[in-house]
Chains A and B, each alone.
Chain A
Amino acid sequence: MRIARIRLEPAPWRGAAAWLGSPRLALALFALLGVAVAAAGRGAAPAGGLLAVPLALLALNLGCAIATHASFRQQPALLVFHVALLALVLLAAAGRLTYLNGTLEISVGEEFSGALTQREQGPLHGDAIERLAFTQLEFAVHYQPGMKRAQTESRVAWRDAAGRPREAVVGDDAPLRLAGYRFYTTPNKGFAPEFVWRSAQGREAMRGTVHLPSYPAQLAAQEQDWTPPGATQPLRLRLEFEERLVDLGKPWILRAPGAHALAVESGATRARLRPGDTLALAEGTVHYAGLRMWMGYSVFYDWTLPWLLAAAALAAGALGAHYLGRFRREPWRPGAERP
């Protein structure tokens, strides 16, 4: 007899879940999330850390509400909306654990091989980026009068999964997509003198480029210190234009200048190099092969993107359907008869 009576009482966890899933708690957590978002917006701390706790609590609250509220069972569209919201929060969390955000610079003619100048990633991000490769070909950046940047067209080449050579023009809002990674061109780009360095110890010659500061953002500061591999004495490089590259009054296209010289300073040695010149220094010889360009990219990886979009679209659609159904049942005009 007693056992039967106990069975009729609600399980204790249901009481807890109903409390955890209460709409009043949801409102309190909305307020908490609002405060955390405002703090994150002011740069008080990284957004991920500040938002993790309120979002986790909201997810718990929402999960319990979905499990316990009868009103959701009577209103399927409202249920779908809230389930989609829960999915959004969980997906965003999964995305934060596995994302990658980085930057890289690459000269025309060079191959990208996974090296980033800056990176920021979730603790569970793998190392797939190290196996990606593409080659930077020529690029053009169009400018409107008055130093206003317009379209960027960057030509890149790579091999697809089947090993076939592929080529495309990317730039601005059209990234290069490789294995889930998206490479976006940035306003960061400039000139890259190419050198062949032969050290005095007679080791093998090394060929490479030095990236001068971003152009035209650092128009007046086309200088860079460079220490050749294995050397101790840095070289001061300065690009000197012998033609007008930029006409502020007209549209123009960023390209490497034809007529230019590279001023090199190392200790007491001073020289002006032109493409093809070689300079002998105490620690080796530097051969100036010519001026190339470099392009700066940002790279972004987040496998949740299409799922986030699907969940968000589902949420919006379900919310619309919920209200449409509800408002159709009652007239819009106060005082009017029901249809």
Chain B
Amino acid sequence: MSAEMLALWSALSLYAIAGSLALAGVARARFAEAWVMGLLALGLALHAAAIGVRWERLGHGPFLTMYEILSSNVWSLLAIYLLACWRLPVLRPSAAIVLPVLFVMMLWLATQDPREGHLPPTYRTLLLYVHVGFGKAFLGAVLVAVGLAGMVLARLTRRGAAWFAALPSDQQLDELAYRFLAVALVCETLMLIAGAVWAQDAWGRYWAWDPLETWAFLTWLLLAGALHARSSFRPAPPAGAALAIAVFVLAFLTFFGVPFVTTAPHQGAI
């Protein structure tokens, strides 16, 4: 096994252990915070090494193949989540919700072909990093909101209420989720702007409603709509939570579903 694969699989194993601990922790109402966060941090370091080794070997970042995109997104989502948990301890029990979501991506990653892809001629630009960077920040912020939303919704059940009993009120969790959605909207707006500038350079048009552009715009519209709905209707926390989850689902399908079902446009290569 190559050093890259060894580091990646070690990282994935640590994530799996951390996730199991988090789930067992909330179920027994004795959440081993330090262990979960520590294992995640260690996993992230190993995962960063795997990505770094590959970057060094291929001479380009993890932006091309589904394997690279999934791997770098698992990394960035966890990194953003961990950073948020570090600053806001109230988020930590949501690991029991966030990590299982990421396991879906990790399982998918495990099935992907790790061979190298072809770097299109239009990828030598700073815009790539701006576009991808804001995209990752956007998805990370929505993921944190999903963790909070998941706890609010779980508390609708008796068991969930027991699991997350020690947390602040639903209103307070909802307000925090709303802030992360607001951050997400700003990041997504910047991602779309950088993407449009890049598309103008790379394909001679800034926006053409290809499937990825269509879905990305729908995600932006839903997120803006969700924030509007909050200020016009003041929905109860569970309804706000459902909106946050809907945004994540649409964003997830846009990021990972659309490139999976259509290969022709928005890929730049050929």
Interface residues of A (CB under 8 A from B): 23-24, 26-27, 30-31, 33-34, 37-38, 40-41, 47, 101, 144, 146, 148-152, 171-175, 182, 184, 187, 298, 300, 302, 305, 308-309, 312-313, 315-316, 319-320, 323, 327, 332-335
Contact = CB atoms under 8 A, between A and B. Distances in A.
B259 to A, nearest CB: 15
Contacts of A334: 90, 168-169, 172-173, 175-176
Contacts of B87: 332
B204 A309 contact: no
A300 B176 contact: no
A34 B221 contact: yes
Given A319-B186, A323-B182, A323-B183, A26 B214 contact: no
Nearest to A46: B209
Nearest to A327: B179
A320 to B, nearest CB: 5
Contacts of A146: 118
Nearest to A330: B175
A26 B228 contact: yes
A332 B214 contact: no
B62 to A, nearest CB: 19
17 contacts: A23-B231, A31-B225, A34-B218, A37-B221, A41-B209, A149-B270, A173-B121, A187-B270, A309-B193, A313-B193, A315-B189, A316-B193, A320-B186, A323-B183, A334-B90, A334-B172, A334-B173
Interface residues of B, number: 48
A184 B232 contact: no
Interface stretch (B39-47, B95-103, B149-157, B194-202): B194-202
Nearest to B208: A47
Interface of B: 87-90, 118, 120-122, 125, 168-169, 172-173, 175-176, 179, 182-183, 185-186, 189-190, 193, 196-197, 200-206, 209, 211, 214-215, 217-218, 221-222, 224-225, 228-229, 231-232, 269-270
Contacts of B222: 34
A121 to B, nearest CB: 14
A220 B230 CA distance: 60
Contacts of A333: 88-90
A324 B122 CA distance: 35
Contact of A175 (B179, B204, B224): B204
B121 A37 contact: no
A150 B121 contact: yes
A27 B217 CA distance: 15
Contacts of A312: 189, 193, 196
B121 A30 contact: no
A305 B200 contact: yes
Contacts of A187: 270
Nearest to A332: B88
Nearest to B189: A316
Q: Interface centre among B121, B211, B222, by most A CB within 10 Å?
A: B121
Given A37-B214, A144-B118, A308-B206, A323 B186 contact: yes
Contacts of B221: 30, 33-34, 37
B228 A27 contact: yes
A30 B218 contact: no
A1 to B, nearest CB: 40
A184 B204 contact: yes
A118 to B, nearest CB: 13
Q: Interface centre among B89, B204, B209, B221, by most A CB within 10 Å?
A: B204
A40 B214 contact: yes
